[in-house]
Chain A
Amino acid sequence: MRFDLDDDLAHARRHVRTFAQERIAPIAAQLDAEARYPRETLRAMGEMGLMGVATPERYGGSGMDVLAYVTFLEEIAAADASHATLMAVTNGLPQKMLLDHGSEAQREAYLPPLASGRQFGAFCLSEPQAGSDAAALRTRAVRDGSGYRLRGVKAWVTAGGEADLYLVLAVTDPDAGARGISAFLIPADADGLSFGAPERKLGQHAAVTTTVRLDDVFVPDADRIGREGEGFVAAMTSLDGGRIGIAAQSVGIARAAYHHALAYADERIAFGRRIREFQGVSFPLAEMATRIDAARLLVQRAAWAMDRGYRVTKEASMAKLHASETAGFVTDAALQVLGGAGYTRDHPIERYLRDARVTRIYEGTSEIQRVVVARQIVRELERGELT
C-alpha cells in the first residue's frame, strides 16, 4: 500500500497547480461577478491535456488514469470551482459514454475534438420535474425514418448554449421505465435546439447553467450511443466517475478556503495575540485539515479502485457525500475565522462558500448518495460480503 503519487503525476500536479494559481485564481472573482463563461482559460486547459485526461491518446486524450484526473481537478477547483465544474462536465459523461458504449466510428468522430478541448461537451439528464428520479423523465425520442425526433425540456445543463455537443437522454419506450431511455449526441447547431437564459445561481457563476429545449430535433441513428433503451443504465454506470470528480472538486474548494483561513489566522491579532493561538480558532482549523485529508483519501481510494476496473458505486458515493459535506463545513468554518471580513468580496471565502454549496446537490444530492450507499451496504449484508 502506498500513499504517495508517483513522480510523473506529482510533477504534472505541480504544473497544473502553477497554471491554476497563475492563470485562473486571479480572474475567478471577476468571472464570478460577471457570471462570464471562461472561454480563454478553458482553451488553455485543453491545450494542457486537461479536457480529456483519461481518454486514450489515440482519441486525442492524455491517456492518463482517474487518479490523475482527480488530482488535476482538485488543483483547478482550488483556483476556481466553476472551471473545475466545466472541466468535469466535458471530461465526464460525453467522453465516458462514447468510450464505454460508443461505436468505433462515433469515437473517432467525436472524441478527438472533445478530448483536446477544441470542442466542449455537455450532458442533459435532469428535467424541471425530474432530478434524482430518472424514471420520471418526459423528454421523448420518437422514431422518424432513419432516426428520431426529440421533444422536451432539459434543466440544469452546465455550459448550455456554450457547449458544442450535447449528450441527451430521452425516452424511447415510455412503458419500459429506466430501460426505455436512450442516449443521443446532438450538435449545438441542430435545428430545434435552443437554450434558456442562464440561471441566476448562488455560486459557480462562471459555470453557466441553462435549460435546453428540444423542439422536434432530428437525430440520426448514427448519433444514438449504445442500443436503444440502454442509455439510462449506461449513464448511471458512468456517473460513478462523475461523482468522484465532484468529490475531488469539493476537496479543492475546501483546501482553498482552509489555506486562506489559516493564513488569515496567522496574521490577524486579537487580545494581543495571533488568533491562531486561540483554540477557538485553532480547533476549527485542525478540524478542517482533518476532514479535508479524510475526504481526499476517499477520493483517491475511489479513483484507484476505478483505475483497476472495480465497480465503485459505493466508493464514489461515499467520496462524494463526505467530500461535499466537508466542503460545506470547511468553507463555512473558514468564513467564520475571518468574521466580517469573510462576509465581503474583499476575500474569496464568501465565493468559496457559495461555490461549494452546489457540490451537495449536483450529480445526485447528498440524500441520494445516502440512498446509494444504503442500498450497497444492504446488498453486501445480504451477500455476506460486509467489509
Chain B
Amino acid sequence: MIDFSLGPTQKEMQGLARRFARDRIAPVAAQHDRDASYPTDVIDEAARLGLLNLRVPEAQGGLGLGVLDEAIVGEELAFGCMGIYTVLMASDLGVTPLVLHGSENQRDRFLTPLVGGGARLAAFALSEPDAGSDPAAIRTRARREEGGWRLNGRKMWISNGALADFTVVFATSDPERGAAASVALVVPADADGLSWREVHGKLGQRAAPTFEMILDDVHVPEDHLLGEVGDGIRIALSTLDQTRVPVAAGSVGVARRALHEASRYATERKAFGKPIAQHQAIAFKLADMEIRLQTARWQTWHAAWLADAGEPCGHHAAIAKAYASDAAFESASEAVNVLGGYGYVDAYPVAKLLRDVKLNQIYEGTNEIQRLVIARRVIREAEA
C-alpha cells in the first residue's frame, strides 16, 4: 500500500518547525552568516522546543523520532538557514551511531544527557586531512592499552566539534588491515589530550562551526567502543546511509527557499512593461525550480520511509542526497539570476543560499561518492 499523507504528529512538528524557522531562524540568519557566529540563542530555543537530537530514543528520554520525521523538520529549518540547520543535523549525525549500534548501557550514558535540559550537541568524526571519500584510508590510530584505548591522529571537517559533549571517532587499530581493523569510539569532550582547531573561511554555512580534531594520546575506556573491533567502517557507513536523508531534506528546504524568493521577486519586479514572471524566460525557471523541488522532496521522503521501515535505504538515500543537493544548487543559482544584481548582494538572501548549499553537495559523502554507491548497485544488478 502506498500512502503519501503525513500523520497528525508529523503535521504538528512540521508546523512548529516552520514557525520556528520563520520567526527565529530566518531573521538572524544573515547576521550569523556575516559574523560566522554560532547561533547560541537559536540552538537553545530549538532544544527547548524539542527540535534538537530528535533521534534520541524514548528509552533515553528523547522523542525517538524516525528519519522521516527528521526530514520533515529538517526541510523547514533549512528553509530558514541551512547553516543553522547543520548544527542540529550534525548533532543527530553524532547520535545516530549510538542509536544504531550502541548498547543500552552506552545509550543511557551518552544519549540521556543530551535531552531534557538545554542545548547539548554530539559530533561525528570520520574524515581526515588526507582521507575523505576513502574511509579505509584513515590513519587515526587506536591502540589497546590498560582499561581501554589510546587514540592518536587528526580528524577533519567535524561539525559542532569543540561544542559537542562527545564525538564518535572512527580509527584503525591496525593500519595494515584497513576496514577490518576499524573501530568506532565515543570520545567525551573533556578527554585529556583532545584539542580542536576551528576551520575558518568557509564559503557558506558560516553559522555552523567546523573543526579539526587533534587526538594526542587520548585515553578512552573500553566500554566506549561501539560494536566490536572491525565494525568501525560498517558503523560509519550504516550511519551515513540514514543521515544522508537529512542532508537531502535540508537541500529541499534550500530549494524551496530559492523558489520562494525568486517567485516573490518575479511577481513584483517589472521589465518591458510587465512583471518578469510573465516573461517565459523567468516563468520557465520558476516551473523548473518547482519540478526539482517536488522531485527532490519525494525522493527524500521515500528514502526516509525505507529507513524507518528497517529496509536497506543506502541506495535511495544516496539518490536523494545527490539529487536534492544538485537540484537545490541549481535552483539557488537560478534564483540569483532571477534577481539579477540584487541576487548577487547580501541585502537579499539568495546569494547565501548558493554559498550554503554548495556544501550539501560535499559533506556526508560528495555527490561523486553517491554516484559511486548508486552505480555499484546498478552494475551489481545487471551482472546478477
Contacts and interface: CB of A to CB of B under 8 A. Distances in A.
Residue with the greatest number of chain B CB neighbours at <10 A, chosen from A129, A155, A340: A340
Contact of A345 (B131, B132, B200, B368): B200
Contacts of A202: 336, 344-346, 351, 354-355
Interface of B: 127, 130-134, 136-137, 156-157, 199-204, 270-272, 281-282, 329, 333, 336-337, 340-341, 343-347, 351, 354-355, 358-359, 361-363, 366-368, 371-372
Contacts of A366: 337
A354 interface: yes
B127 A340 contact: yes
A357 B133 contact: no
A137 interface: no
A38 interface: no
Given A136-B270, A202-B351, A280-B372, A361 B343 contact: yes
Contact-size category for A: 35 or more
A244 B200 CA distance: 37
Interface in A242-294: 269-272, 280-281
Given A270-B132, A280-B372, A370 B281 contact: yes
B354 A280 contact: no
Nearest to B336: A357
Contacts of B137: 269-272
Nearest to A346: B201
A336 B336 CA distance: 20
Contacts of B362: 336, 339-340, 342-343
A336 B367 contact: yes
A157 to B, nearest CB: 11
B134 A199 contact: no
A339 B368 CA distance: 10
Interface in A354-385: 354, 357-358, 360-362, 365-367, 370-371
Interface of A: 126, 129, 131-133, 135-136, 155-156, 199-203, 269-272, 280-281, 328, 332, 335-336, 339-340, 342-346, 350, 353-354, 357-358, 360-362, 365-367, 370-371
B345 A365 contact: no
Nearest to B201: A345
A377 to B, nearest CB: 16
A155 B340 CA distance: 12
Contacts of A133: 270-272
A343 B86 CA distance: 15
A199 B341 CA distance: 10
A210 B372 CA distance: 46
A367 B337 contact: yes
Given A350-B203, A354-B355, A328 B333 contact: yes
Contacts of A272: 137
Given A131-B340, A200-B346, A344-B199, 14 more contacts: A133-B272, A200-B345, A201-B344, A202-B351, A269-B130, A270-B131, A271-B136, A281-B368, A343-B202, A343-B362, A344-B202, A354-B203, A361-B344, A365-B337
Contacts of B343: 361
B341 A336 contact: no
A64 B374 CA distance: 54
A126 B355 CA distance: 26
Contacts of A200: 345-347
A344 B201 contact: yes
24 contacts: A131-B271, A132-B271, A133-B271, A200-B345, A202-B344, A203-B344, A270-B133, A271-B136, A271-B137, A272-B137, A280-B371, A281-B368, A335-B358, A336-B367, A340-B127, A343-B204, A343-B359, A343-B362, A344-B202, A361-B341, A361-B344, A365-B340, A366-B337, A371-B281
